[in-house]
Amino acid sequence: MARDLPLQPVTAAELASQPAPYKAMRQHNADVDHDSVVHLLEPTPEQRHRQRAYYLANVEMIDTQVGQIMQALEDEGYLKNAVVVFTSDHGDCLTDHGHSQKWTMYDTITHMPLIVWSPQRFTGDRRVEGLCQQMDIGPALLELAGVEPAPTMEARSLRPALQGDAWQPREYVFAEHGRDGILQETRFMTMVRSHDWKLVHFVDCAEGQLFDLRHDPGETVNLWDDAGHADKKQELLDVLRDWRINSDVHTAGWSAAWR
């Protein structure tokens, strides 16, 4: 089954256009074994398919275990008034873009599954399109439990989308990652994404990434240094800056009650 999945080509041009922190991380992951994942700089198609097959086996194992958890909850009567949320904290490149695991800002990492189940509350078999932050599920769960979300929460409730009511997707979504044992060559990396564009910024590196997602959904052509897209780059940098400021202001009072 895994052999039928198409492999996205990884070209020398794409690898050369990646920011320095990504290039250093690729070499680091080839030199050091993290989480029992062996990363090869130039894997063969067979090796790439094999990694996907192992990943698929893990997904099938998790699916089986979730089924057992659901059955146990059903047997104990807990599903009569329950909301079940299945999601993940990140995706995996699986050798796409020349990387494995996370630590990048490609859509294959940041576009995560979110499945919500509650037959008593929501109509099933629906897909909701639009950008949201993963944290937006938080206020929805609070509201469903009869708890009013704190005004300092930056998240926007997904409850209208779950209920099939009018819902306004986010114009932009953001992600961030600080230096750790694998992403070692930058102190902080931040992403801003709209429906059609994505920008990745490094706080201590002049290089970055800019992708036109309409014409390059595979995120292989980095337009960061393209003079013809300088205005779009600056626009997204401005959005990123304003978000950082507004986020700090909006959430500043979260601990006021304990001060």
pLDDT at residue 46 tops 50: yes
CATH 3.30.1120.10: which residues of the chain?
Answer: 170-251
Burial of 116 (0-12, 13-18, 19+ CB in 10 A): buried
pLDDT, position 257: 84
Third-level CATH fold of 170-251: Arylsulfatase, C-terminal domain (3.30.1120)
Task: Give 181-236 pLDDT, tens digit per residue.
Answer: 999 999 999 999 999 999 999 999 999 999 999 999 999 999 999 999 999 999 99
pLDDT at residue 3 tops 60: no
- Stretch 62-85: mean pLDDT: 95
Task: Give 146-189 pLDDT, tens digit per residue.
Answer: 999 999 999 999 999 999 999 999 999 999 999 999 999 999 99
pLDDT at residue 259 tops 90: no
Dihedrals phi, psi of 183, to nearest 5 degrees: -85, 85
pLDDT, position 1: 42
Which residues are CB-neighbours of 28 under 8 A, at least 6 positions away? 182, 184
The overall average pLDDT reported for the chain is: 93
CA atoms within 13 A on the CB side of 187: 4
pLDDT, position 4: 59
Structure tokens at 74: 């059903």
Dihedrals phi, psi of 174, to nearest 5 degrees: -135, 155
How would you list the strands of the sheet with 208-212, edge to edge? 173-178, 188-193, 197-202, 208-212
Which residue's entry shows tokens 């937006």? 136
d(CA 161, CA 64): 28
pLDDT, position 2: 43
